[in-house]
């Protein structure tokens, strides 16, 4: 029996064996079905061409990864230094200040205030607290923290110098979930937790799910380098996200219905980073239009309070390049 030669244009100048292919920059969503095909045709030869020519691998493999909640358009291009070994990169500086709509919010909240939020523009834990402040309509001062030059005023609150941190008068505290509880306990502005004690308890339970499963799963997957591990971790994250989507109000578009609440604020930064970070770096499929997950993400994207905390997409793409290799300085949980 003879086999036809399979020609695949990939971004490399070398002939790839399956083991070499598994170490490439393509995502598990893109590579694993190809490895299956390759194993079925042991005499298949892969012929590569110039680095500039490449077929969109996400679309090529989409038939093998159908998920009713997800679609898979080709991800945007990565930064030019992404995927290079540290020794091959030029020294790079990362964005340290908010941009886009978030920058306008920073300017509006730059005046001294007794309620101060110490944050970093790229940090999702900061964004949780920031969204809550915006939803509640509170007056506050936003203080951007350079993760490499932490001010003494932050260190006085959190000796580790991690953000987010709040200072309210002479009192200070940190850890995003604790700060969300504090803002809610103030009883000022729009409430994020419902009054009904059982619905309130259920909300806290799902926030715990976000903290215990979705957030750690997001970073484990983002930092994974070995191909098979990426496949396993991607599936684990998908399952944990599906659990909370299934528990959400059927109509939505937010977790409990038409209004943004505690659970939405707690998970929003990571749902928003599925398209801004995991999609370009790992080939994570985007939410399929018409699904409950897509409706939830669209509602978050369209929320004025959430939008007020969002910088331009390139800021996340640039900053998470270092997180994809295992390190993001100065941010809670990192």
User: What is the residue-wise DSSP string for 271-331?
Assistant: HHHIIIIIHHHH-PPEEPTTSHHHHHHHHHHH-HHHHTT---HHHHHHHHHHHTTT--TTB
Kindly report, residue by residue over 38-47, the tens digit of the pLDDT.
344 333 333 3
- Chain Cα centroid distance, residue 122: 10
Measured from the Cβ of residue 252, the count of other Cβ atoms closer than 10 Å reads 18
DSSP structure class, residue 62: G
Average pLDDT over residues 7-19: 34
Average pLDDT over residues 167-175: 97
Band (325; pLDDT cuts 50, 70, 90): low
Kindly report, residue by residue over 255-294, the tens digit of the pLDDT.
999 999 999 999 999 999 999 999 999 999 999 999 999 9
CA–CA separation, 295 and 315 (whole Å): 25
Least confident of 44-53, 145-154, 189-198, 316-325: 44-53
**pLDDT computed for residue 9 by the predictor:** 32
Best CATH choice for the domain 202-323 from the list 2.40.160.40, 3.40.50.2300, 3.40.50.300, 1.20.1050.10: 1.20.1050.10
**pLDDT computed for residue 55 by the predictor:** 27
Average pLDDT over residues 86-111: 81
**pLDDT computed for residue 98 by the predictor:** 96
**pLDDT computed for residue 44 by the predictor:** 34
Q: Is the pLDDT of residue 208 over 90?
A: yes
Task: Report the percent of the chain where pLDDT is more than 70.
Answer: 69
Whole-structure pTM value: 0.75
Q: Tell me which residue of 64, 67, 54 sits closest to 30, measured CA to CA.
A: 64
Average pLDDT over residues 45-65: 30
User: Which numeric CATH code is attached to 100-185?
Assistant: 3.40.30.10
Average pLDDT over residues 208-213: 98
Average pLDDT over residues 313-320: 89
**pLDDT computed for residue 333 by the predictor:** 66
**pLDDT computed for residue 96 by the predictor:** 83
What residues does CATH 1.20.1050.10 cover in the chain?
202-323
**pLDDT computed for residue 324 by the predictor:** 60
What residues does CATH 3.40.30.10 cover in the chain?
100-185
CA–CA separation, 12 and 232 (whole Å): 26
């Amino acid at each position: 029996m003879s086999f036809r030669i399979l020609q695949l244009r990939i971004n490399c100048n070398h002939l790839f064996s399956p083991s070499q292919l598994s170490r490439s920059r393509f995502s598990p969503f893109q590579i694993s079905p190809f490895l299956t095909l390759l194993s079925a045709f042991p005499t298949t030869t892969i012929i590569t061409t110039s680095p500039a020519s490449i077929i969109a691998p996400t679309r090529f493999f989409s038939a093998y990864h159908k998920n009713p909640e997800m679609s898979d358009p080709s991800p945007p291009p990565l930064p030019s230094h992404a995927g290079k070994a540290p020794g091959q990169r030029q020294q790079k500086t990362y964005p340290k200040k908010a941009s886009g709509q978030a920058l306008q919010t920073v300017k509006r909240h730059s005046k001294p205030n007794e309620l101060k939020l110490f944050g970093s523009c790229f940090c999702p834990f900061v964004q949780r607290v920031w969204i809550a402040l915006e939803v509640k309509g509170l007056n506050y001062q936003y203080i951007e923290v350079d993760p490499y030059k932490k001010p003494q005023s932050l260190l006085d609150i959190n000796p580790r110098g991690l953000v987010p941190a709040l200072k309210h008068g002479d009192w200070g505290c940190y850890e995003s979930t604790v700060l969300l509880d504090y803002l809610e306990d103030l009883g000022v502005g729009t409430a994020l937790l419902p009054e009904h004690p059982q619905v309130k308890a259920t909300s806290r339970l799902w926030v715990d799910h976000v903290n215990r499963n979705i957030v750690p799963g997001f970073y484990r997957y983002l930092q994974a380098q070995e191909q098979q591990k990426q496949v396993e971790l991607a599936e684990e994250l998908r399952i944990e996200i599906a659990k909370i989507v299934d528990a959400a109000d059927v109509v939505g578009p937010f977790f409990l219905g038409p209004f943004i609440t505690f659970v939405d604020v707690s998970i929003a930064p990571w749902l928003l980073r599925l398209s801004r970070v995991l999609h370009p770096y790992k080939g994570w499929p985007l939410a399929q239009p018409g699904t409950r997950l897509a409706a939830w993400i669209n509602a978050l994207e369209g929320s004025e309070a959430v939008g007020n905390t969002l910088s331009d997409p390139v800021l996340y793409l640039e900053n998470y390049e270092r997180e994809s290799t295992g390190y993001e300085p100065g941010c809670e949980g990192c």
